[in-house]
Amino acid sequence: MNKIVSLSLVVFGLFTTIQAQDFQGMAVYESKTSTADMTSGFRGNREITPEMQKQIEERMKSMFEKTFILNFDKTASIYKEEERIEQPGQGGGMRFMSSMLGGGGTHYKNVKEKTFSVDKEFMGKEFLVSDSLPRLDWQLSGETKQIGNYLCFKATAVRKVEQSDFRNFRRNATAKEENKDEKKEETKEENKEEKKTTNFTDGWEMPKEVVVTAWYTPDIPVSQGPESYWGLPGLILEVSDGKTTILCSKIVINPKEKASIKAPKNGKVVTQQEYDKIVTEKMEEMRQMNQGQGGNRGFQMRVGG
């Protein structure tokens, strides 16, 4: 009984703190994305040795393992990647690829006004994507689990995939079967001088939507979360969408040093739809260039650079 009373007092005290005018919180998130489909496009090409394939896979994995900081108050938040020292061997081609995948910046959400702004760098140009917050039809569940010191509840939704979010690229079933057939043909024709090369992005497809699973805690009653996620009756501590999982590893309520929670200002202002169009058109242009350079050859030079 005493434990129940004590817990109730803690929750009540936290709720009272959050209602204060100067309330602010900070959460640390670890993000990981499966890159198996992305790197499979290099397999079967004789210009890429097993050692190079392994190196590519390790670098891609590292590039998609990131730490983010979410600073939030009752109505707004900023979500930004934690700065880190660039690892040896991740310059050149990896910076180029990171740019193609859309360099991060400050992701600002205002749940009261239901708007967001995020500054992005793509192919050396700065953009400020400003639009309405995407609304998800969350289905709340009674299923629970513990994340750190917080009891979390499960919620699911179906989200439309942004065409500029290349984390969701995948090899389609047809491409996978064709890849198997190509390997068989290569075995039969291994003495031939000329070999067929394929473009790195051939057989890639972007799903139109993904199922999102989120875990939120009512103990922190703010409608915030990582990236563009919001709309639940509590802070989202974990979210999985497609091939990416984002998990909260640390929470600080009312940190000593307050963050400036303001929308970014730099970059050419575009809507999400306009930005998606810019990125997809540029990627198609790069794909055509790679085909003109002999498939994987052009992309290999950038990865190894």
Q: For residue range 70-107, list pLDDT tens digits in order.
A: 999 999 999 999 876 655 555 545 555 555 554 568 99
CB 208 within 8 A of CB 161: yes
What pLDDT does 198 receive?
Answer: 47
What is the value of pTM for the model shown?
Answer: 0.76
What pLDDT does 87 receive?
Answer: 55
Where residue 190 falls among pLDDT bands split at 50, 70, 90? very low
Helices (H), 259-295: 272-292
223, containing H or E segment: none
> How far is residue 108 CA from its own chain's centroid?
15
CB 99 within 8 A of CB 73: no
Give 47's contacts (C-beta < 8 A, 6+ positions apart): 197, 296, 297, 300
Write down the mean pLDDT value for the chain. 77
The mean per-residue pLDDT over the stretch 259-266 comes to 94
Where residue 59 falls among pLDDT bands split at 50, 70, 90? confident
